Amino acid sequence: MIDIMQPGLKEGNLLITFAIVGLLILISERYRVLDRLGVYAAAGLGLIVGGLGHWTWLIILLGFLGTSHKATKWRLDEKISKGLSESYDGHRSWGNVIANGGLPGLVAIISLVFDDHHNGIWIFSAAVAVAASDTFASEIGCLDERVRMITNFKKCEPGLNGGFSPNGQLAALLGSTIIAMLAFIMEQNAELALLVAIIGWIGCQIDSYLGAILENRGFMTKGTVNAASITFGIILMWLYLDSPHL
């Protein structure tokens, strides 16, 4: 009997991973979640995350992809009319896939190398939670007119890097909580799931600060800001898991 719960390059895990990636491709093509290059990038990332990590990690990543797509499509016409949408129909590009999924993919590789999938899933989940929190905050918060700059709390235009709003903060927490709930379903650890939600939300704030201080001045790009905030989430979870209390 094939064991589908063993992580890494095991027959059962690879079979489930290939099946899920195939489903991802079909759904992406049907609902235009991603453009063509985005589909290829997501498929490759999915094989890395599932094949080197575990297929349950891939479920978490797909949870982010699906819910963030819904957030992107929310009041899309209004976003387009205000110039707040990156695409005309809400689809995401390969650049979005790499920016949000590249570092979680790296976590899967490192987890295989060090044979530590037990801790790997929580570091992976923290990384995805930061990406989800930031995406939800951007896609939902951009339509809230009560925007203030995170560095000085002065009013600013919606969509400006470093701007935050009440709806955006709630959306950020919702995004990280969704990932935390998926991680809890997979591993049944309430303490670490709660930490995933908190780290995701904090990572979103780091993203805003970097956007306000460095991106607006041309010292960082959107991609490098995303990478830095996700790296923060990875390090914070790693430090917690490596602390003596566990």
167-212 pLDDT, tens digit per residue, is: 999 999 999 999 999 999 999 999 999 999 999 999 999 999 999 9
Q: How many CB atoms lie within 10 A of CB 89?
A: 11
As a whole number of angstroms, the distance between CA 50 and CA 13 comes to 7
pLDDT at 117: 96
Dihedral in degrees, nearest 10, Cα atoms 172, 174, 177, 182:
-120
Position 90 scores a pLDDT of: 67
**Per-domain residue ranges of the chain:** 11-240
Distance CA 10, CA 4 (A): 8
* Predicted local confidence at residue 245, as pLDDT: 54
The per-residue pLDDT for 1 is 76
- Token readout for 21 is 């990636």
Strand, coil or helix: 116: coil
DSSP state, residue 92:
B
Cα 220 to the chain's mean position, in Å?
19
Q: What pLDDT, on a 0 to 100 scale, did the predictor assign at position 187?
A: 95
Q: Return the number of other C-beta atoms located less than 10 Å from residue 245's C-beta.
A: 4
151's tokens: 């560095």
User: Can you list the alpha helix ranges (DSSP code H) found in 32-116?
Assistant: 36-48, 55-73, 76-81, 94-113
Contact present, 174 and 136 (Cβ < 8 Å): yes
* Per-residue pLDDT, 30: 81
Q: Which residue stretches of the chain have pLDDT < 50?
A: none
What pLDDT score was predicted for residue 88? Answer: 65
